[in-house]
Structure 1
Amino acid sequence: MELIQSHELPAPAGHYSQAVAAGGLVFLSGILPSSAEVDPAVAGFEAQCGSVFEQCGKVLRAAGCGVADVVQCTAYIVGVENWPAFNAAYARVFGAHKPARTVVPVPALHYGFLVEVQLVAQRPQ
């Protein structure tokens, strides 16, 4: 098992890794749209989606992957009414690539964020 840490992001505050590689796959932990530019009290859902996918991209790059290598996505969104906005952001990020996906509406997320994304990618051969 290889622990992966993007040097473009702060280290996790909890007892977990940003991602772990094992058996040719890369498993990203749940990523929040936390960055200096995204204050959950101010940033809307679309801005948070942009930020969370940017954060995911940084972790994927640290693992030697890109969005085209993603095979599965699990997203947690606050409010089912945000589903169309999530779909639009997801389509912009993945384009014609269509990994398996689960979207789970939830009542709340850590720190007041509105979206959290977890990915599984296959490392290029």
Structure 2
Amino acid sequence: MGTHTDRRIITTADAPPPAGTYSQAVCTGGLVHVAGQTPRLPDGTRLNSAPFESQARQTLANVEAIARAAGSSLAEAAFCTVYLTDVEQRGIVDSIWGEFVGAAAPARAMVQSNLPGFSIEVTAVLPCRCA
């Protein structure tokens, strides 16, 4: 097994802690790979019964918080994947998405998924500028 000298774990208290054995994000090769974020508050409280718009907004706020911890932002993302239990809600995602990325929208995929307990999950790949 090789060493991971260029690999840095990114953590922030401004996003929920991992719900399993994974990191919030990992910076390697100049990129930060943000793990799937769901609608949870930074203290871990699940918003699975909240309206979809609230779930989407919190999920993107979590990705943004982790991006900032890496010295980046969601607006600088190269690629994001959005997992939805109901792809008909993509219009709501798009309207909220614009608040976070503005006109500099990253490449993105939307995937219908059978998420357990949530309506949305988002992953991202962004530039890493952590010190």
Whether the TM-score (by the shorter chain) exceeds 0.5 is: yes
Deviations 1:84-124 (A, max 9, x none): 11111112211101211000012x313x1100000000135
Q: 1:119 aligns with which of 104, 111, 124?
A: 124
Which residue of structure 2 aligns with residue 52 of structure 1? 59
- CA deviation after TM superposition for structure 1 residue 57, in Å: 1.1
CA distance in 2, matches of 1:103, 1:31: 14
What SS does the aligned partner of 2:33 have? Answer: strand
Matches within 5 A, 1:39-78: 39-41=47-49, 43-78=50-85
What SS does the aligned partner of 1:29 have? Answer: strand
Which residue of structure 2 aligns with residue 25 of structure 1? 31
What SS does the aligned partner of 2:122 have? Answer: strand
CA contact (8 A) 2:81 2:124 kept: yes
Q: 1:98 aligned to 2:105?
A: yes
* TM-score normalised per structure 2: 0.84
Total equivalences in the alignment: 122
Q: Gapped runs of 5+ residues in structure 1?
A: none
Greater shift after overlay, 7-16 or 23-32? Answer: 7-16
Aligned alpha-carbon RMSD (Å): 1.8
Q: Gapped runs of 5+ residues in structure 2?
A: 1-6
Q: 1:4 aligns with which of 7, 10, 25?
A: 10
* TM-score normalised per structure 1: 0.88
Structure 1: 4+ residue segments shifted above 6 A: none
- CA deviation after TM superposition for structure 1 residue 44, in Å: 1.0
Greater shift after overlay, 113-122 or 7-16? Answer: 7-16
Q: Quick one: which amino acid aligns to residue 127 of structure 2?
A: Q
